[in-house]
Amino acid sequence: MSKEKGKIPQLFSGSIDELTRPKTKKADKRREELKKIKKQKTLYISQDTNLKLIELYAEESRRQSNIVEDAVNLYYYLKKAMGEKNFDELMSAVLREDPEFLRSYLEKAKLI
């Protein structure tokens, strides 16, 4: 058992110094560890999405979990970068499942 698991978390003392001091290296290290810890994933997806994953897996020669993580990162950062309204428009274009329409939409929006 690691030493950190047995520690009782330190409560906020209420001092202004504690509020204004810079982040510790320990907090940064913990954040990096979170990126490396494998989490159990349970995804409920449609048959169509599963077929798309299988096709991507065959093309990319990568683990499905890597493809899913890439997709989540793409979705997350597009939403942050484009804003809610523009992202919703893009998703409605994607949901049409027509690559040619999506390509023309992206060209009009000057995204490609």
Cα–Cα distance measured from residue 59 to residue 105, given in angstroms and rounded to the nearest whole number: 25
- List CB contacts of 86: < 8 A, sequence separation 6 or more: 109
More confident residue, 16 or 73: 73
The first and second tokens of residue 100, run together, are: 């040619």
Q: What is the pLDDT of residues 48-103, one digit of tens each?
A: 888 888 888 888 887 877 888 889 999 999 999 999 999 999 999 999 999 999 99
pLDDT of 88: 92
* Single pTM value for the model: 0.56
Residue 2 has pLDDT above 60, yes or no: no
Q: Report residue 5's pLDDT band, with 50, 70 and 90 as the boundaries.
A: low
Q: 51 by DSSP, 3-state: which?
A: helix
Q: What is the pLDDT of residues 23-32, one digit of tens each?
A: 666 667 776 7
pLDDT of 77: 93
pLDDT of 103: 92
More confident residue, 79 or 111: 79
Task: Please tell me the number of Cα atoms within 13 Å of 68 on its side-chain side.
Answer: 12
Orientation of helix 84-95 relative to helix 99-108, angle to 10°? 150
Q: 73 by DSSP, 3-state: which?
A: helix
